[in-house]
Chains A and B, each alone.
Chain A
Amino acid sequence: MADNEALTADALTLEQQWTPPDRGKVGIIFLIITETALFSIFVAAYLVYIGKSLVGPYPKDVLEIPIIATICLLSSSLTVYLAEHALSKNELGRFKFWWIVTICLGLEFLVATGLEWKKLIYEDHLTISTNLFGSTFYSLVGLHASHVTVGMIFLLIVLAVTLMGFPIQTQFRRVLFLSWYWHFVDAVWVVVFTVVYIVGR
């Protein structure tokens, strides 16, 4: 039967051409999408409550634009790309270098945030319960910082196992996805930065 022959041939070509997208990739993309939904609600709350605080301190009195931290975080996106690129070329040395740079930049961001909070709490007496500004500020920035922290933990784990001699090249996919997550955290910072330090002031 001609039909059946056509079928078999058809099936074979199908099988060869059938390359659906990588599941890890799909997973991480949709994880990022839900995280975006989560952040957007915190951002919305921040926007709604701008200027609604009943008592001070108000943003314009106490917030300083964290230029250096921002530069660090944003450039870490570049360095993590360079690291991942190096890994894809199997250049372990360069990978390690850029990875460590990324971690340093991320750490610098976290430290800067910590110092900012310390100043706000102990000098300006702004806590999460002081007023609506405090509530929305700490929760939004804190949510972002917690994401940076999680990213940082994963970055450190990768670094640790690499330094211990684990063949990290075999895990290239996972490293790649981690770098995407890191880019996402950076992108969120752009939004948070705009909302908190520019619109909100």
Chain B
Amino acid sequence: MASIDYPLERPRHGEKTYSFSEALYSWVSTVDHKRLGLMYIVAALIFMIIAGIMAVVIRMQLMFPESHVVSPDTFNRLFTMHGTTMVFLLGMPMIAGFSNYFVPLMIGARDMAFPRMNAFGFWIFLFGGLLLYFSYIGGGGLGGAGSAPDVGWFAYAPLTSKAFSRGAATDYWILGILVSGVGSIASAINVIATTISLRCPGMTLSRMPMFVWVMLVDSWLILIALPPLNAAQIMLLMDRHLGSNFFETQAGGSAVLWQHFFWIFGHPEVYILIFPAFAILSEVIPVFSRKPIFGKPAMVGAVVAIGFISLGVWAHHMFAVGMTAWSNTFFAASSMLVGVPTGIKIFNWTATMYGGRIRYSTAMMYCCAFLLQFLVAGLTGIMLAVAPFDWQLHDSYFVVAHFHFTLIGGAVFGIFAGIYYWFPKVTGKLLSEKLGKWNFWLFVIGFNMTFLTLHFAGFLGMPRRIYTYAPDRGWDTINFIASVGAFIQAAAVACFVWNVLYTLKKGEPAGDDPWDGWTLEWATTSPPPEYNFEKLPVVRSSRPLWDLKHPQDPDWKYE
């Protein structure tokens, strides 16, 4: 068995061509963490394009008041599937993908702790996602008119009860996420076990790269946060199929309880989604600034703090359900407190760049854009956390703008930075910088056109999830600009796709260590062999490759 997928620069010894079925077989039966990681990332990107196209349709419908691009029900399905896909089928597998590929390489291991469970995790995520999408065909029950879920990505009860959500659409939503959630849990356990048990000699916890640290905390958050969602979904499934009454308000059940359970998951989830970006920035910024990460212990402390505080802020999504003044105050306070460790991260990245010699490749540009956009996102988050302000902003387009700033300006920009940074390692080819710049600027401009403006729609009272609006409410210009921005974003993503395809065909060879990096993955070939390292490395500091490149002046003397 050998790799057959990506074109390699160096001819492989004794390479032979594989037939399609052999290739397929080698992919479905692989337990190699790199291939699985790659499959995760590719699947996630495909889901992102699908959900992105849905977003473009949403924006087309909202471009003008009273337009009829899609019907109300279709619109509701679109935003539900868009949100659900982006969160569960882009965000979650991205985490698994990046950590699968790079954690073993960075800690000097040959594979993940449980390779077979790793494969299982990927496949069940994929099948779960496909099951969700199967609802387009089977949502009305076999033979019935099909339809996808239309209950919003947080599926508030009792809209999801049998009485208000007929057909099987909501069941598909539950099952799809439940099934793919099993994959997330499996991969999280795997990452934790790998980092704890498979570190190469000398890789103490304090020497572990920031990337690995953040992924470790992220996996921990997944383990704590996902089960509440799964539990609530199981209850909902029982409500719908066995007639239990958890969220049946007619029988005394509580609609608010679902919200608590969902957000006990949901808030940590948003940090789960942003953490990979944090992880990637913590690797990319130092390398392109030519300096070690500033205040590593504080950075580690900050992620851990975010991981813990974020478990206690969930009800800031529920300021309008009529909680007592005490609860509202408590959740407002805890939400604002998350800003403190997050601030530490922003400041420390900036300080890493300060005094450096910054090389602006596309990866680094995405990092810088992240810093500025995520700053805006975080500060609008603080506004939302001020409960009285949130009574106005809740469920308005301001919230939509806030979370796209965190999710695109934050998570997606971070992921793109990571892709530009590690693409040469994974494929042996450098992505075109020229196309990369196009991709970057189009994305940044389009993104700000869409979502900066949408903040103001929120100020003018525009609620979210409306399929249409009257022309006299003062929302039309804003929505028009936002929609144009969405097309520009689509062009940006298309640029990216083109860049990847083009590079795979004709890209420049990258060499093993194109960025002059410091972590262990740059010590092996691009792409790495199945066994990663011929000899498992021994490390003495956080930057093992610095030590080798500067034998006179190694890090280990100073840490």
| Interface set of A (CB-CB < 8 Å, partner B) | 1, 3-4, 7, 10-11, 14-15, 18, 20-24, 26-27, 30-31, 33-35, 37-38, 41-42, 44-45, 48-49, 52-54, 127-129, 131-132, 134-136, 138-139
Contact = CB atoms under 8 A, between A and B. Distances in A.
A26 B238 contact: no
B193 A23 contact: yes
Contacts of B234: 139
A134 B201 contact: no
Given A41-B261, A129-B245, A27 B114 contact: yes
A30 B221 CA distance: 11
B538 A128 contact: no
A128 to B, nearest CB: 5
Given A3-B552, A14-B201, A134-B244, 19 more contacts: A7-B540, A11-B538, A23-B196, A26-B196, A26-B197, A27-B114, A27-B193, A33-B224, A34-B227, A37-B225, A37-B226, A37-B227, A41-B228, A127-B243, A132-B251, A134-B245, A135-B238, A135-B244, A135-B245
Given A54-B252, A129-B243, A135-B238, A37 B223 contact: yes
Contacts of B202: 11, 14, 18
Contacts of A3: 551-552
Contact of A20 (B199, B245, B253): B199
B538 A14 contact: yes
Interface string B330-352: 00000000000000000000000
A3 B552 CA distance: 8
A34 B224 contact: yes
A135 B113 CA distance: 39
Contact of B227 (A24, A41, A127): A41
5 contacts: A11-B202, A23-B197, A27-B114, A30-B192, A128-B244
B189 A27 contact: yes
A52 B252 contact: yes
A21 B185 CA distance: 21
Contacts of B371: none
A34 B540 CA distance: 34
Nearest to B251: A54
Contacts of A136: 246
A38 B231 CA distance: 6
A34 B245 contact: no
Interface in B204-252: 223-228, 230-232, 234-235, 238-239, 242-246, 251-252
B197 A20 contact: yes
Given A14-B201, A27-B114, A54-B251, A20 B226 contact: no
Nearest to A8: B538
Contacts of B252: 52-54, 131-132
Nearest to A7: B540
A24 B235 CA distance: 31
A145 to B, nearest CB: 14
Q: Is the interface of B mostly helix, strand, loop or mixed?
A: helix
Contacts of A134: 244-245
Nearest to A36: B227
Given A20-B197, A52-B252, A132 B261 contact: no
B226 to A, nearest CB: 7
A14 B541 CA distance: 13
Residue of A27, A31, A53, A54 ringed by the most chain B CB atoms within 10 A: A27
Contacts of A34: 185, 189, 223-224, 226-227
A18 B245 contact: no
Contacts of B230: 38
A128 B238 CA distance: 9
A1 B552 CA distance: 10
A194 to B, nearest CB: 19
Contacts of B253: 49, 132, 135
Contacts of B261: 41, 44-45
Contact of A135 (B194, B231, B246): B246
Interface in B59-113: 113
B262 to A, nearest CB: 11
B254 interface: yes
B551 A18 contact: no
B24 to A, nearest CB: 30
Contact of A22 (B194, B197, B538, B540): B197
A147 B552 CA distance: 58
A26 B113 contact: yes
Residue of B188, B201, B230, B551 ringed by the most chain A CB atoms within 10 A: B201
B231 A20 contact: no
Q: Which 5 pairs of residues, A with B, have the shortest CB-CB distance?
A: A129-B243, A135-B244, A41-B231, A38-B227, A23-B197
Given A11-B201, A34-B223, A41-B228, A27 B246 contact: no
Contacts of A4: 551
